[in-house]
Amino acid sequence: MSTFETSSRKTWVWREYRLEIIISVFGIVAINAIFLSRAFRQTYMIDPTTAAQLGSFVGGHVGSFLALMGVVLLFATLNGQRRSSEKQHFETKYFELLKMHRDNVAELDLRGVSGARLFVLLIRELRCVLEVLRPIAEAHDQRLSQEQALHVAFYCLFFGVGPNSSRMLKISLADYDQGFLEALEGELNQKETKKKYRDQRQFGYLPFEGHQSRLGHYYRHLYQMVRYVDEQTIAICKYEHVKTIRTQLSTHEQALLLINSLTPMGKDWWRKELIVKYRLVQNIPRFFFDSSTELDLCKLFECGYFEWEEFKTTTQALNVPAKQGSAP
């Protein structure tokens, strides 16, 4: 066995059994400390009478201490078993939820486009809604902020337009100007508009007819899964577990999740600080959204949130020119 392996084994033994080692050493020292007492001996000879009396006293005292330690160790053992059981229960349910999420994504399908690829089309359709929305908002003197425009556009994407969908859409956007909503709904509901964007953006389906049946369940389950980790009181690394969830999300999934979180429908992502705490959308590329017409990410998040910022910082550090007089 090499020196490194021996050292590693000693470190592992200490880490795993340090409490038992400390108690054993302390117990041996305490038991043998009696021989240091003057009452136990006279000169170099043991006095049986005083030794017996002191032994009885120390035996009762040390015995009480050992009994107390036994209770403490028993409690520690039971507590450790309980924590281990709770962690095992958490991990079992966590991986079940993770598998359900993967199954949910795999089952998403729209005219032959399935899984995470569907979110590419959804982002594309959302941008089409924004393209229709802007001139109508201007015509009705509606000065919408970026977040308000995305709010309206996402609800149009989610509910769609149609006999029943339009009613739900208008109720959900009741705080906005009704004339503006009527004009927007009417334009999106035109067959010519749908066919125009279907052909122009190469959709395999008629756009603007809603995705509530697909996205509703998807976002409810995703939120439940992240909240399940966030609410845990056992000793786990919550960030690493949520990071595993985040790695399951494609770039377009993260982008649509961010837009969803900016609407009243997804406000709990921010209210519970899940978006920021676990950096759920940190993999969105720097120029994914047009900062002037769609969404300015730098105004939403503090510096250092996104993955591209880390890359930028590293690149700048590598490209810093050497100071004059320094070694090449």
Structure tokens at 15: 């880490």
pLDDT tens, position by position, 265-277: 999 999 999 999 9
Q: Are residues 78 and 195 in the same domain?
A: no
User: What's the predicted TM-score (pTM) here?
Assistant: 0.77
pLDDT tens, position by position, 161-218: 998 999 999 999 999 999 999 999 999 999 999 999 999 999 999 999 999 999 999 9
Q: 């520690």: which residue's tokens?
A: 76
- Helix 251-261 and helix 146-159, axial crossing angle in degrees, nearest 10: 110
CA–CA dist 219, 95 (Å, integer): 18
Work out how many domains the chain is built from and give that number. Answer: 2
| Type of residue at 221 | H
Last residue in a domain, options 21, 53, 82 = 82
Q: What is the 3-state secondary structure (H, E, C) of 116-146?
A: HHHHHHHHHHHHHHHHHHHHHHHHCCCCCCH
Structural domain range at position 41: 3-82
Sign of CA dihedral 94, 99, 103, 105: positive
Q: Are residues 159 and 289 in the same domain?
A: yes
Other CB atoms within 10 A of residue 116 CB:
15
pLDDT tens, position by position, 231-273: 999 889 999 999 999 999 999 999 999 999 999 999 999 999 9
Residue 310: per-residue pLDDT: 80
Q: Are residues 75 and 216 in the same domain?
A: no
